[in-house]
Chains A and B, each alone.
Chain A
Amino acid sequence: DAGVIQSPRHEVTEMGQEVTLRCKPISGHNSLFWYRQTMMRGLELLIYFNNNVPIDDSGMPEDRFSAKMPNASFSTLKIQPSEPRDSAVYFCASRRRTDMGSQHFGDGTRLSIL
């Protein structure tokens, strides 16, 4: 089975530009999570979806961040406008709701905002 697929793997862009990160969860998984990882703050949950519906977006830092899940096989995380402090590794994870606690992570998108 293919794992969680994220794209792009790396993104370098200038401050103020729009950034779109993409995620394809594992087929059959019905929960999807977006995380941000930095050295200072570790792994932080931004938002998660159950059955394509956003359940908890309390971790989204600002209105500049938005996430969508238009169907069971695709999700996006958008930052507009981007700022240098958004530089981090962004992970997507998915889980079958019956798999207690077990989340499967993609390999992340390394984002640098200049």
Chain B
Amino acid sequence: QKEVEQDPGPLSVPEGAIVSLNCTYSNSAFQYFMWYRQYSRKGPELLMYTYSSGNKEDGRFTAQVDKSSKYISLFIRDSQPSDSATYLCAMTPGGNEKLTFGTGTRLTIIP
């Protein structure tokens, strides 16, 4: 079993819809949780960063962490075609250690 599980999709939703992306993990030592966005033929870029449990909001994006369930989510409100990309979750026990990535969910927003 992988340490981090992520549904690869693909996921297609109409423009303006709310998108929910999720990851589950098995290592209870993970404390730092990140979401990266990767456009086609580009490297991943950091989108959201959360420490421990709770919610964090940045514009149309909200990241949630539930450590008791070992489950993290990324919500995208008012989705736009420019949000079409692959979204990867990542996590680490400590901020200075290597990241463990999910395999990514491919998202398409249909105009």
Contacts and interface: CB of A to CB of B under 8 A. Distances in A.
Interface of A: 4, 31, 33, 41-43, 45, 48, 56, 91, 93, 97, 100-108, 110
A6 B35 CA distance: 23
A97 B43 contact: no
A108 B98 contact: no
B16 interface: no
B103 to A, nearest CB: 4
Contact of B43 (A56, A101, A102, A108): A108
Which 6 pairs, one residue from A and one from B, show the smallest C-beta to C-beta distance? A100-B95, A105-B43, A42-B103, A43-B101, A101-B32, A107-B43
A95 to B, nearest CB: 9
Nearest to A40: B103
B29 to A, nearest CB: 14
A102 B90 CA distance: 10
A56 B98 contact: yes
Contacts of A106: 43
Interface in B54-111: 88, 90, 92, 95-96, 98-99, 101-104
A101 B42 contact: no
A101 B41 contact: no
Contacts of A42: 88, 101-104
B7 interface: no
Nearest to B90: A101
Contacts of B96: 31, 97, 100
B47 to A, nearest CB: 11
A97 B102 CA distance: 22
A43 B88 contact: yes
B31 to A, nearest CB: 10
A42 B103 CA distance: 4
Contacts of A97: 96
A93 B43 contact: yes
Contacts of B34: 101-102
Contacts of B44: 43, 91, 105
A103 B32 contact: no
Nearest to B104: A42
